[in-house]
Amino acid sequence: MNARACWFVAVAAVAGLAGTRVAAGPESALKKKMERIIVPTVEFRQANVVDVVKFMAEMSVQLDPEPDPARKGVNFILNLGSGGKDGAQVDVPQVTLRLRRISLLKLLDYITRVANLKYRIDKHVVMIVPADAPDGPLVTRIYPVPPTFGDWLRRAGEQEDQTADPFAEAGLHPRRLGAEAHKIRHVQAGAGNATALLAQMGVPFPDGASATYSPAISKLIVRNTGENQAILAEILAHLGAGL
């Protein structure tokens, strides 16, 4: 860690982050800087992604055409998450890659794809997180639903093992989203499992997100990103007539 400490930080826990392979805006100065920095040779063979990101930080300082030494380089923060339950260690991705004369921006894109990560370019820093990290902070919202919602959940759960589409028999046509594209975390569904059944209908549930139905107050309590909450609201509006 030299030259502005390379501004590379590896952190241990994922906070809500709006992360995609895009910059904060089309005129992002940091994005343009990364496009100007050309790395002549890249060769990784099962390299630890922590070392790979450190390499990018060091190259960003050494190869930056910026004349002001104080403004050279790119700041990176690598956040691999806090690990699994029972104190399980974080799985550190390995990278195997061989490239020549590539911009730092394109290199970042290749590395995050190979390592199953994603990034966001902000004004002063590049944030790198797991691909299944929530796209935005998780928020909790409470949806009033009819008392018949609980009966519908139970019926849908019972039908799950009997039909390819347990919702089709009820005449429902929910919005469906690609599970792989949205990294939906599927849970083994049982009767009344709101999270699993709503995920099956197209609501993404990243790590930490959940849905719970409380029959005592006839409310659906959902913790999810704002974008996914909007998808859920649309589906609930559609379901309203059939509950």
pLDDT at 160 over 70: no
Structure tokens at 93: 């991705």
Structure tokens at 99: 């490239």
Out of 98, 130, 162, a domain closes at: 130
| Top-confidence residue, 104 or 124 | 104
Structure tokens at 214: 């409380």
pLDDT at 189 over 50: no
How far apart (Å, rounded) are the C-alpha atoms in residues 123 and 118? Answer: 17
Out of 130, 156, 185, a domain closes at: 130
pLDDT at 93 over 80: yes
What values do phi and psi take at 206, rounded to 5? -70, 175
Instruction: Determine which of 101-105, 208-212, 236-240 has the lowest per-residue pLDDT on average.
Output: 236-240
The whole-chain average pLDDT of the chain stands at 75
Contact criterion met (CB below 8 Å) for 145 and 136 = no
Same domain, residue pair 145 and 207: yes
- Domain at 25, CATH number: 3.55.50.30
Same domain, residue pair 30 and 104: yes
% pLDDT > 70, the chain: 69
Point out which residues pair with 11 in neighbouring strands.
79
Same domain, residue pair 92 and 165: no
| Top-confidence residue, 129 or 9 | 129
Question: Residue 64 has what pLDDT?
Answer: 95
Domain that holds residue 167: 138-242
Considering only CA atoms, which of 25, 24, 3 is closest in space to residue 127? 24
How far apart (Å, rounded) are the C-alpha atoms in residues 95 and 235? Answer: 39
